Amino acid sequence: MSNAAQAITFPKTASPNTASPKAAETTAKSGTPKLDANQIYDLRTALAFLEQIEGELISTNEPVDPVAELCGVYRYVGAHGTVMRPTRLGPAMMFNKVKGYDDVRVVIGVLCKRERVAKLLGTTAGKLGHRLRDAVRNPIQPVMVSAEKAACQEVVHLATEKGFDIGKILPAPTNTPEDAGPYFTMAHCYATDPETGMSDVTIHRLCIQSPNTLSMYFAPGRHIDMFRKKAEAAGKSLAISINIGVDPAIPMGACFEPPTTPLGFDELSIAGSLRGRAIELVPCKSNGAKAIAHAEIVIEGELLPNVRVDEDQHTHTGKAMPEFPGYTGDSQNVPVIKVTAITHRKHPILQTVIGPSEEHVNMAGIATEASILTLVENAMPGFLLNVYQHPSGGGKFLSVMQVKKTIPSDEGRQRQAALLAFSAFIELKHVILVDEDVDIFDTDDVLWAMQTRYQGDRSTVFIPGVRQHPLDPSARPEFDPSIRAPGISCKTIFDCTVPFDLKKHFERCKFMEVDVTRFIPGFVK
């Protein structure tokens, strides 16, 4: 077979004991098993599911360098998001041959398309926020299984005094030639509060700093950082597992934040709810932590107390790696993980993500949509119809909120809804409010509403001096002297809704409803 993009064949694996008992469907032509979303329980079943759908997954046998080249390829194939143009939305991509690594494949872009995420979770693109909201309301807690049932421990590498080299075992990519070093970017970090025993999973950027250490960046307020601080205050390390290559339901659940998931809420229970069965965990081999049993790769280690390192200690550029706003993040002085073991499946698949790609947008943004829907629904039942965290804001900065005014007293509630979103989500910077007849997932339609239902001097609400995300490069005193400290911003509401008493003057043109399939067989609206 040539080195060109091609279909993928995955080795068969036994499903977990908690898998759905529903029998696999078969195709009429081949009789081969056909997965549906309910049967996904790990990365491999997710990829096998995508392989069935034309245009969702491609692979290449052309050898690729993990240093900048791999991400350089995918930038053109399917990254999109806030990545420098030209880029586009496209299929997920498997690199079967990675230079320097005979046994490890790398996959990227699994969650890059909103429609692909929806298929993987058994819903539609427009209902993703609602799907995750319902999962939060009905969590299913993870369960422990024995090592014999844990695919993630088929191969075990234990750290010894003779040496241990992370970079020789795993091909951590760099996004660009300027990165501070090789990064694990789809690293699902799982740890337990040393005081309460409650566990948490979050995704962090991890940079290889030496043969047996990683640096770990924490944005302010992350729960595992709170666990680390408690352990550090007691002079102890914090045991942690780093899980790479998992069921896509796990990253979608892992990106929830307070107030939706307060300290002590295990987001693996959201993934369990999305699948209708508990996520399985297994005891780590070296440190007493817990790992995701069906992960492709698990890095075990300890967050060391009172040890810090500059991310760019080997490059001294002041740069870390590309982050979701589309700019390279500044190098930080960050905590250190001492790696004690690496376990993985046979012929493992390392999953990675381009920092500013649409994959980040979907992981962070859809969870935020679910949280805003929940918050506003609790305060104003039935008023907020849907929310879209727009890719231009990396899934965090810009929210398009669709409301429906049904009575005169609804006027003004749209701005209250925006204020509720701002009060709860520190990273949110701008809110665009639109009516029920605007397609919030169509940027042209949203901008149409802004051009025809918005006046800058009366439809804009400024909220200056509010804490926002530190990765916004405009939120710093050098950009505007009125900003007192980095991470302070002016939050803004763009009210593009029609005043209730003027609604009859803003009715969109109504066309005849017709059956298009009479004229174009197979046409789908």
- Residue 305 bridge partners (DSSP): none
Overall domain count for the chain: 3
- pLDDT score at 268: 98
17 has a pLDDT exceeding 50: no
Residue 203 DSSP SS3: strand
Whether residues 217 and 274 fall in one domain: yes
Whether residues 137 and 245 fall in one domain: yes
Is 10 within the bounds of a domain?
no
Whether residues 246 and 347 fall in one domain: yes
- pLDDT score at 31: 45
Whether residues 253 and 341 fall in one domain: yes
Is 14 within the bounds of a domain?
no
Lowest pLDDT segment from 8-22, 107-121, 394-408: 8-22
Q: Give the domain range for residue 416.
A: 380-500
Whether residues 276 and 139 fall in one domain: yes
**If pLDDT is split at 50, 70 and 90, which confidence band does 274 have?**
very high
Structural contact between residues 156 and 285, judged by C-beta atoms closer than 8 angstroms: yes
Task: Write the Ramachandran bin of 316: left for phi over 0, alpha for psi from -120 to 50, otherwise beta.
Answer: left
- List, as one string, the DSSP characters of 319-386: EEEE-TTSSEEEP-EEEEEEEEEEEE-SS-EEEE--TTSHHHHHHHHHHHHHHHHHHHHHHSTTTEEE
Lowest pLDDT segment from 27-31, 35-39, 446-450, 513-517: 27-31
Q: Where in the sequence numbering do the catalytic residues fall?
A: 323
Q: How many residues does the chain have?
A: 525
For 463-480, the three-class secondary structure string (H helix, E strand, C coil) is EEEEECCCCCCCCCCCCC
Is 9 within the bounds of a domain?
no
End-to-end CA distance of the chain: 38
For residue range 70-91, what is the model confidence (pLDDT) as tens digits?
999 999 999 999 999 999 999 9
- Residue 58 bridge partners (DSSP): 93
Whether residues 88 and 127 fall in one domain: no
**If pLDDT is split at 50, 70 and 90, which confidence band does 258 have?**
confident
Whether residues 308 and 186 fall in one domain: yes
Whether residues 280 and 258 fall in one domain: yes
Task: Write the Ramachandran bin of 34: left for phi over 0, alpha for psi from -120 to 50, otherwise beta.
Answer: beta
161 has a pLDDT exceeding 80: no
- pLDDT score at 151: 96
Is 366 within the bounds of a domain?
no
209 has a pLDDT exceeding 60: yes
Dist CA 270 CA 377 (whole Å): 19
20 has a pLDDT exceeding 80: no
Is 496 within the bounds of a domain?
yes
The residue among 367, 471, 363, 439 whose CA lies nearest residue 81 is: 363
- Sorted by sequence, the CB contacts under 8 Å of residue 488 that are 6+ apart come out as 465, 466, 467, 468, 475
374 has a pLDDT exceeding 50: yes
**Count of C-beta atoms within a 10 Å radius of residue 141:** 12
Is 520 within the bounds of a domain?
no
**If pLDDT is split at 50, 70 and 90, which confidence band does 33 have?**
low
**If pLDDT is split at 50, 70 and 90, which confidence band does 525 have?**
confident
Q: What is the mean pLDDT of residues 427-435?
A: 97
Say which amino acid occupies 477. P
Whether residues 189 and 330 fall in one domain: yes
Q: Give the CATH number for residue 395.
A: 3.40.1670.10
Is 518 within the bounds of a domain?
no
Whether residues 83 and 154 fall in one domain: no
Whether residues 164 and 277 fall in one domain: yes
Is 16 within the bounds of a domain?
no
For 170-173, the CB contacts below 8 A with 24+ separation are: 170/101, 170/104, 170/297, 170/299, 170/342, 170/350, 171/66, 171/98, 171/100, 171/101, 171/104, 171/106, 171/350, 172/66, 172/208, 172/350, 172/352, 173/66, 173/67, 173/68, 173/70, 173/71, 173/106, 173/352
- Residue 292 bridge partners (DSSP): 281
Q: Give the CATH number for residue 154.
A: 2.30.110.10
Q: What are phi and psi of 302, to 5 degrees?
A: -135, 130
Q: What is the mean pLDDT of residues 336-357?
A: 97
Whether residues 83 and 160 fall in one domain: no
Structural contact between residues 481 and 463, judged by C-beta atoms closer than 8 angstroms: no
Q: What are phi and psi of 170, to 5 degrees?
A: -125, 135
For residue range 171-188, what is the model confidence (pLDDT) as tens digits?
999 999 999 999 999 999
